[in-house]
Structures are given as structure tokens and as C-alpha cells.
Structure 1
Amino acid sequence: MKNINWPDHILNFVAVILGVSMAFYINEYSEEKRLNNERSLIVNSFLEELRNDRAVYTDYQIPNNKNRISSLDKAIIASETDADSMSFYVRKGLGFTSYTPQNVTFNSVTSSGKLDLIDDFNLRKSISQYHSIYVPEAKYRGEGQVDFYNSQIIPWLLKNSKLNDPNYTPEISQEFVNMLILYKFLISNKVRQYEKLVDASLKIEQKLDSLKMELQ
């Protein structure tokens, strides 16, 4: 009967096991590193968009629209006593400036299924709510203001103004004052949504910043 070198066989077996285990470990490490790189790209992309959008709202959109609200308030008050002052403030208050946040990263990661790379369920939920609820609502309110301006205010101005005379002040009517009140309400409604967007985006940014630190 042939003698079997058991120690040699055992060492070879252990070496094979260790080799396979090391290969699995290296593959898992490489895969985790690749996924973390993808996570970092997604997090950085979200952060860049959120910060850019928030800057647009806080630096321009919200202050500008609040100035319009203030001008319309003064126009409505002046409508009772001073047609010239009303006309001045109407010119400052009419028009519109709206902005819809960027959806590029969110649309990309949801269509590719990569949003799940963010392990934090609550963070994923906040991001989804922001882009699926807050952003469309802001867009809807902005469009509502534009629609009212184009369908109600512009026709009234065309009917009651002299476009070739910039100093002409149309006769004040309660109909037009009512339009201004409704228009001011639409702008105020939009600004409230913008402020909600800013608050929500700031909370998401803070969580994304924490995740970014973990991935470094």
C-alpha cells in the first residue's frame, strides 16, 4: 500500500483554501471600492446641484419675488388715493422670475437603479420626496403665476393702456386691483414653496456631507 504524505496534502489543501479565500476577499474589496467610488460621485453630484439651486433661491429668487410682493402691496394701498404712485409700484411688481431645481442627478440615478447605493433609507426617502414632491410643486406654482399673468393681466393692460405712451396711467378699476391681489397671492404662494425647498435641501445637504465624510 502506498504511503500518503498527509502533512503535505493538508498543507496543499490549506493553501488552496487560503488562496480561494484571498481571491474572494480581494474581489469583495475591489467591488466595495468601486461601489464607494460610485457613491462618492453620486453624493458629490447631488451636493453640487443642491447648493447651486439653493444659492439661486436665497440670493435671487426669494428676495426678488418678495420685492415684487412689497411693490404690489404698495400699489394696492395706493389704488385708493394715488393713481400715479399705484402705476409706479405696479410696474415694479408685475413680471415674473421663477426657477425649477435641477433634476439631472436624481433622474440619472433613479433610471439606473443606483439610488439604492445610498444605504441610508431615510436619506433616500428625503431625496425622493424633494425631487418628486417639493420640486414639481414649486414648478407648478411658478407656472400658475405665469398663466395668470398671461391670461389675465396682459389682456387687461392691452385693453386699458397706451403702449406708445409710457407715462399714461390707466383709470383705476376694482377689477384690476382684484387682479393685483390675486397675483400677489400667487407670488406669495410660490415663495412659500421656495422657502420649503431651501429648508429641505439644506437638511439633505447636511446628511450628504456626513455620508461624504464616511466615504473618504
Structure 2
Amino acid sequence: MKKINWLDHLANLLVVILGITIAFYLESYKAEANNKAQEQKYLESLIKDLETDIEALDTLQQVNRMISNSIVTLSEATTGKPYKDNTQVRNDILTIQYNPPFVPQRTVYESIKSSGQIDKISDFEIRNEVIELYEQYYRGTNQYDEALNEHVRDFIKPYFMKNIRFTSRSTVADDFLRDAEFQNMIYAYRFLFTAKDEFYGEVKKRVEGVKEKLEEYLRKF
């Protein structure tokens, strides 16, 4: 009977096991490296989108201040505070009909979400903050914009079409300022616009905070 060299068989088995282990490790390492590279790409793209959103919010806040000034001036005029220049009345009623919306950059986020790759952002807290920003804060700006657009469409513009009388190319009769319907309408608009403007400020701070955390996290790669 041939003697079996168990030591040789054991050595061969160990070589096979070691080879499989090394191959598995290398495959896992490669997969992890790919995941890290993909995560880094997502983070960089999200940061660029947030930078664009911050610039857009900066511009909108400046525009909103101009619109808000016109709303406040008109509402105060209904209580007797006189206009110094009748031309400004015309400018204000035109200004308050302009309500530019915030249109955030959502392409990268929606692409990550729809492809099921949102978990590629491995930090749980940061991932949740990104989701909250897009799903709650950005959705909130859209709701405010829609509410204001509806108010302008359903009340402001129809009222002006029926009641505003131009006395020249640059001036209008200001008798509408003493109309109770206009007073109620402009104060409702002032309340809505103030709430929107304050929320935009909160959103901007949130965007800046998320961007800062993404940049800090990216520096660890």
C-alpha cells in the first residue's frame, strides 16, 4: 500500500486556501477602491452644484429685497404714508408682480438617487443631511414659490388689470391705495413674501453648512 504524504497534501491545501484568500482580498480591495473613487466623484459633483445654488440664492436674496421694499412701501401707503414720487407707485406695482423662483441644481442628486447609489456616500450623517437638504429644504422653497405665484396670478394681476389707471406712461392714479380689497391683498402678500424670504435665508445657511461638511469629509480621502 502506497504511503500518503499527508504533509504534502496539507501544504498544497494551504497554498490553495492562501491563494483564494489573497484573491478575495484583492477583489475586495479593488471593489473598495472603486467605491471610494465613485464616492469622491459624487462628493465633488455635489459640491459644485451646491456652489451654484449658493450663488443663485445670493442673487435671489438681492432681488427679493427689492421686491420686499416695494411690497412694504405699497402696504404702508395704504395706511396713509405718502409717496414722494408718483412714478414710484407705478414701479412698485410692476415690481411686486415679479417673483423669480429658486431652481436648484438637482441633476447629480437625482442621478445618484434614481440609480440607487445614494449609499455610496458612506458617512451616514452626511448622507442624511444631503437627503434632507434636497428632499425637505429645496422642496420647501418650491412650495413657497408656488404659493406666491398663485397669489400673484389669482389676486394681484387680476386686481391690477381691473383697477389700475395709468395717467401717463410712467405714472398711475393712486386711488387704489385706499381700496380695502387692495389693502387686504397687499398685506397678505407681504406676510407670504416675508415668510418666503426668511425661509430662503435658512436654506442658504443649510446649503453652506452641507457644502462645508462635504468639503471637510472629502479632504479625508
Task: Label 1:164 to 1:26 Cα distance change in 2 as closer, same or farther (>3 A).
Answer: farther
Aligned-pair RMSD on alpha carbons?
A: 2.2
1:109 partner amino acid: I
Q: CA deviation at 1:193?
A: 1.6
After alignment, is 161-170 or 63-72 more displaced? 161-170
- Structure 1 gap segments, 5+ residues each: none
User: 2:188 corresponds to which residue?
Assistant: 182
Q: Secondary structure of 1:101's match?
A: coil
Select the residue among 110, 114, 136 that pairs with 1:111: 114
Contact 2:74–2:92 (CA<8 Å) still a contact in 1? yes
Select the residue among 159, 173, 182 that pairs with 2:178: 173
1:153 partner amino acid: I
Task: Count the aligned residue pairs.
Answer: 214
Q: CA deviation at 1:108?
A: 2.1
User: 1:211 corresponds to which residue?
Assistant: 217
Contact 1:65–1:191 (CA<8 Å) still a contact in 2? yes
Identity of aligned residues (%): 24
User: 2:2 corresponds to which residue?
Assistant: 2
After alignment, is 43-52 or 7-16 more displaced? 7-16
User: 1:143 corresponds to which residue?
Assistant: 146
Separation (CA, whole Å) in 1 of partners of 2:166 and 2:30 = 69
TM-score (norm 1): 0.87
Q: CA deviation at 1:6?
A: 4.9
Q: CA deviation at 1:138?
A: 0.6
1:34 partner amino acid: N
Separation (CA, whole Å) in 2 of partners of 1:88 and 1:105 = 40
Q: CA deviation at 1:65?
A: 0.2
Contact 1:138–1:194 (CA<8 Å) still a contact in 2? yes
Q: CA deviation at 1:9?
A: 3.5
After alignment, is 3-12 or 137-146 more displaced? 3-12
Q: CA deviation at 1:144?
A: 0.9
1:45-84 pair list within 5 angstroms: 45-58=45-58, 60-79=59-78, 80=80, 81-82=82-83, 84=86
Matched, 1:123 2:88: no
Separation (CA, whole Å) in 1 of partners of 2:14 and 2:115 = 42
User: 1:201 corresponds to which residue?
Assistant: 207
Q: Secondary structure of 1:166's match?
A: coil
